[in-house]
Amino acid sequence: MYANGLGASRDYAEALHWFRLAADQGVASAQYQLGLMYHYGQGAPPDNTEAARWYRLAAERGHAAARVNLGRLYLDGLGVPQSYEEAKHWFRQAAGQGNTAAQLQLGLLYQNGRGVREDYVHAHMWFTLAALQGQKGASKLREALSQRMTRTQIAEAQQLAREIMPRQWTWTTDMNGDAIITISDVQAWIEWVLYYPGDLAVHHFLLHHRGVAQFFEVTPLSYQGRLSLVVSLGFWGLLAFAGWRSYRAIRQTYGQWKQDKKLTKHRKRKEVAID
């Protein structure tokens, strides 16, 4: 509240004091905020070394944004020795948590061969993952990179992205978005049917329950595959069973209605004959 001027006059020095008290108790978000304040010189002179120290403490506690910012410091050699390897490590950690800024940075590292060998396929994959979650600029970077890639490379990158990210595709005739209906579109339709329900279930329910996720040993970057397939097959199986039961119930109701109607007509005929 002191940092944002809410309920009190904005006072970065006072904000720094309270953030430090929380950070010293191991609160990752406070450690991250301290890193930001030292990074941008709010409440204290700019100090990238101190910023890196607090970012690291938060990053080691799993704070995604702190991991991204620490990676950027290593990328530019600010407050820490310049190291593409270290930058890649922290970007990868944050990207595994679904952070789009980290995914974008990883894409750039692979595109430019920094800390890794130049790899357009993996660069395209990370740009795709970031773009699917609304990261500004990722789509343009991906389109520019696509001009330097073969159709086979693009297809491979798309496949890799599907194996990492929950399939958030819209069901369309052209599933791969290449303006041409090919056998790969048929494969994508089949994958959609086999994996999409399971991906959604795992991503939105299982991953949010830490104990269950740890039991199945799944993370945002590793849950694709058999687990999604099993959940999807279970879903479609239940749907088919419910449809079959509904069909039988409707057929039975319809049959009973026809029989009642036939009996009513027969009874009316007998009454007419008696009269």
In a domain, 151, yes or no: no
DSSP annotation of 78: S
Pairwise CA distance, residues 51 & 38, whole Å: 5
Q: For the chain, how far is it from start to end, CA to CA, in angstroms?
A: 92
In a domain, 128, yes or no: no
On whether the CB atoms of residues 231 and 193 are closer than 8 A, the answer is: no
The first and second tokens of residue 229, run together, are 């397939």
In a domain, 227, yes or no: yes
pLDDT tens by residue, 18-72: 999 999 999 999 999 999 999 999 999 999 999 999 999 999 988 999 999 999 9
Whole-structure pTM value? 0.61
pLDDT tens by residue, 109-151: 999 999 889 999 999 999 998 888 888 889 999 999 999 999 9
State the average pLDDT over residues 147-174: 73
User: With 0-12 CB in 10 A as exposed, 13-18 as middle and 19+ as buried, what is 21?
Assistant: exposed
In a domain, 190, yes or no: yes
pLDDT tens by residue, 238-263: 989 999 999 999 988 988 888 888 88
pLDDT tens by residue, 189-209: 777 777 677 766 766 666 556
Q: How confident is the model at residue 230 (pLDDT cuts 50, 70, 90)?
A: confident
What confidence score (pLDDT) does residue 208 get? 56
Q: What is the CA radius of gyration of the chain?
A: 29
On whether the CB atoms of residues 68 and 105 are closer than 8 A, the answer is: yes
In a domain, 20, yes or no: no
In a domain, 44, yes or no: no
Residue 172, pLDDT above cutoff 70? no
Which residue segment(s) compose the domain that 181 sits in?
Answer: 169-275
SS3 25: coil
In a domain, 4, yes or no: no
Q: How many domains does the chain have?
A: 1
In a domain, 50, yes or no: no
